[in-house]
Chain A
C-alpha cells in the first residue's frame, strides 16, 4: 500500500481505524505519519457510508482502497457492494465504471467465534461485475493490490487472518502480478488439490504427507475466485483424474460446489473417482479451540479425502 500511495496521488486508504490505530491487524501501521489524514482516512463505524463513498470517489476519478475490518462487517455494506459497485457499469450502459479496491479479512483460526470468523468470499464470487481475489502468498498479497488498483472494475481482496503473520522477503523488483490465473503450487500426477487463500498452507502440508505415503498430489491455488480460471483446474484434473476441493466456506452452495459442478459438466469422462470436498462444518464458527479446529479443513481431513479418491 505504501508503494501504491507513493506511486499514484489518486490512491487513498479509507476504513475503520486504518489511521491513528494503525489498522486493526496493523496492516496500515505508519502510513498516517507518511501520508497524512486526508489519504489515510479514519472513518466512523458506518460501513455502508464509507464503502459507498469509495464507490462515489472511484466514479469521480480517485483510486480508493477501502478496508473493511472483517468479512462479517462487509454485510453492512452489501447494499453498496452489490447494488452499486457491481451494477453501475452495466446499468449505465458502460458509462460509469467503479475502479475501487476493497480489502477485508476473512476466515477462521483465531478463536474469534461466529461473528468474526466466516469465509464469505464465495458469496461475493457469485456476483457479476466484481472481481474476487484471495492471495495466499506474500508475493500475491503485495502484487495483487498493485494489479487491483490498475483495474477499471471493483476488486475485492480477501485476506485470510491466519496469513497476516507470514513474514518473508520479496524480490526487490517485485511488481504487479496478473490476477486472472490460478497457480500450480506443487506439481503432481495422482490427484489435484484445489485450494485458495488461507487453506493453501494446510493443503501444501497435506500434499507433503501424501507424498510420504506414495501419493503424488498436485496443488492448484485458485488466487482469483471470480473470474474463475477453470482451464487450469480442468487441465490438472485431465492429468491426475482425481480432485479434492478445499474450501473454508460451508459446503452448501459454496465455491467448492461450483467447482465440483463444473468438473462434472466438463471433465466427467476424465474422472476416475468422485470429486471430494473438504469444507467447514455446517455450523457458525465456534469459539473453543478444539471445536474450531474440528470445524475447519485441515491437513488430516485433506489427506483423508485425497486417499479416498485414489482408493
Chain B
C-alpha cells in the first residue's frame, strides 16, 4: 500500500491497477484515432478489452525480470514502465521513439527495462524467452522471464518445442497465453483440437492454470502465484488468461468472422468498468478520484502526442545504422 502525500488513507493497490489500465485504454484509443488520421501507419493491433492481462501480469514482475511480447504489445510496454512519450514517438516513426523509428507499433523495445519486443512473427518470441530464462538460470540471477503470446501461437510448433524445453530444463519462465479466442479471424474451436489450453500445457509436466483475464485482480493474483512458483525453483508456469479483444485484429480487419452481439456480450465484462464498479461500491474509490485518474491519463496521452508531433525524424543518412554493432561497440 502506498501512502498518499496528503496524509489520507493509504491507496488501495487495486487503484494502481485501474490507473495503469486507464492509461493503456486511453493511449490505444488515441492510437486508433491517429491511425484513422493517417498519423500512425503500418499495422496497428490494439488490445482494447485485454488491459487486465497486461496490467495484472506486469504487476507481479520485478524490474530485473525480462519480458518478451507480441505485436499487440502497447499495454505490456506501458505496464512495464516504458515511457508513454517514447512509445507514441515510435508510433510516429520518430527518432525519439523507443526503437528509433525502426520498429513501429509491432516492435517496441526498451533494453534498460528488459523489455525485448514486440515480435510480429506469431510464436517467434517464445524461443527468445526460453533463452533469456536459460541465461538467467545459468548465471543464477533469480530473474523470471515472462513471455506473452496469443492462442494463435499455441498452434505453432515453436510453442510446443519451447514448452517442452522449458519444462525439460526447468527454466524460470512464465508462459502467459492471452487467449482472446481468435487467431486473427479464426475462432479457437476452428484451430485447436482441444481448446482447454492449460490442460494441454500441463501435459508437458509444468504447472498450468487458467484465469479470468477480464478480472485484473484475479490476473494479478495468479501472476503473483506463478512468479513466486518460478522464483522459488518450481519450474515454468503456463498461465492461460481468458480474455477478449473488443476491437478488430488490426485496423485493416473488417471483422466478418464474428457477430456484433458476441462482442457486445463481452463488452459488458469490460475489465476497467468492472473494476471501477467494484471499487466505487466498496468505497475504495470516489467519483472525484476516478475523474482524476482519467484526467491524468488523458493529459499524459495528450503530452505524448504533442511531443511525438514535435519530435525529429531520424536522418535518412542514418538508415543503415544498427544493422551491425557500431565500431568499437560491444553488446
Contact = CB atoms under 8 A, between A and B. Distances in A.
Interface in B68-101: 68, 97-101
A53 B107 CA distance: 19
Given A60-B135, A89-B322, A152-B329, A52 B130 contact: yes
A44 B132 contact: no
Nearest to A61: B135
Interface stretch (B44-52, B161-169, B238-246, B269-277): B161-169
Q: Which of A90, A131, A152 has the most CB of B within 10 A?
A: A90
Given A44-B165, A57-B135, A84-B124, A96 B109 contact: yes
B116 interface: yes
A52 B118 contact: no
A62 B128 CA distance: 13
Contacts of A128: 323
Contacts of B126: 49, 52
B138 A62 contact: yes
A49 B161 contact: yes
Nearest to A51: B127
Contact of A152 (B97, B98, B117, B325): B325
A57 B124 contact: no
Interface string A232-247: 0000000000000000
B179 to A, nearest CB: 21
A52 B117 contact: no
A46 interface: yes
A48 interface: yes
B166 to A, nearest CB: 9
A152 B331 contact: yes
B127 A80 contact: yes
B322 A93 contact: yes
A305 B97 CA distance: 54
B330 to A, nearest CB: 5
Interface string A51-68: 111111111111010000
A83 B118 CA distance: 12
A173 to B, nearest CB: 25
Contacts of B132: 56-57, 59-60
A60 B131 contact: yes
A216 interface: no
A48 B157 CA distance: 9
A56 B68 CA distance: 10
A91 B103 contact: yes
Nearest to A54: B131
A91 B324 contact: no
B61 to A, nearest CB: 16
B138 A91 contact: no
Contact of A90 (B124, B165, B322, B330): B322
A97 interface: yes
Contact of B109 (A48, A49, A91, A129): A91
A5 to B, nearest CB: 13
Q: Which of B119, B161, B326 has the most CB of A within 10 A?
A: B161
Contacts, number: 156
A56 B322 contact: no
Given A56-B134, A153-B325, A79 B330 contact: no
B168 A44 contact: yes
Interface in B115-162: 116-119, 121, 124, 126-136, 138-139, 157-158, 161-162
B207 to A, nearest CB: 20
A94 B322 contact: yes
A55 B135 contact: no
Interface string B315-328: 00000011111100
B229 interface: no
A90 B102 contact: yes
A58 B128 CA distance: 9
B130 A49 contact: yes
A84 to B, nearest CB: 6
Q: Which of A12, A48, A53, A98 has the most CB of B within 10 A?
A: A53
Given A49-B164, A60-B136, A79-B158, A93 B325 contact: no
B236 interface: no
Contacts of A131: 324
A44 B169 CA distance: 11
A252 interface: no
A43 to B, nearest CB: 7
Given A48-B157, A60-B66, A92-B117, A55 B165 contact: no
A53 B102 contact: no
Shortest 7 CB-CB contacts between residues of A and residues of B: A52-B127, A56-B131, A93-B100, A97-B331, A60-B135, A49-B161, A92-B109
20 contacts: A46-B165, A49-B161, A53-B165, A55-B127, A56-B68, A59-B132, A60-B131, A61-B135, A61-B139, A92-B117, A93-B100, A93-B109, A94-B100, A95-B110, A95-B111, A96-B331, A128-B323, A129-B324, A152-B330, A152-B331
Interface of B: 66, 68, 97-103, 107, 109-111, 116-119, 121, 124, 126-136, 138-139, 157-158, 161-162, 164-165, 168, 321-326, 329-331
Interface of A: 12, 38, 43-44, 46, 48-62, 64, 79-80, 83-84, 88-99, 128-129, 131, 152-153
Given A48-B161, A49-B162, 5 more contacts: A49-B127, A56-B68, A92-B107, A95-B110, A96-B331
